[in-house]
Amino acid sequence: MISEFNELSDKIGLLAEMTHALRRENAQLRKDNAALAADNALYVQRMREAQERVEALLEKIPELVQAGLEQAASEAGAYIAENEKEA
């Protein structure tokens, strides 16, 4: 009977140790999760900012293409005029 109590006492002690270990692990996992959530929020913000920059650049493309075409036409006109003078 005493050995059964000792065995039960040992099991209760082991259960208590396991409970404390699981609580420590759970606390660490909560800290890790909070850190990852903060990192994720930062990355989401950075992605939003990058998306806004890309969208702004995409809006400028037609303007840049038009400016490039106008510059090319102007340069071509100047080239033609210069060649006509030489001819």
- pLDDT (tens, 9 = 90+) of the chain, 87 residues, equals 889 989 999 999 999 999 999 999 999 999 999 999 999 999 999 999 999 999 999 898 888 888 887 887 787 677 777 777 765
Q: Rounded distance, CA 4 to CA 10, Å?
A: 10
What's the pLDDT score for residue 46?
98
What's the pLDDT score for residue 67?
84
What's the pLDDT score for residue 86?
65
Whole-model pTM: value is 0.57
Instruction: Please say whether the dihedral angle defined by the alpha carbons of residues 18, 24, 25 and 27, taken in this order, is positive or negative.
Output: positive
What's the pLDDT score for residue 53?
96
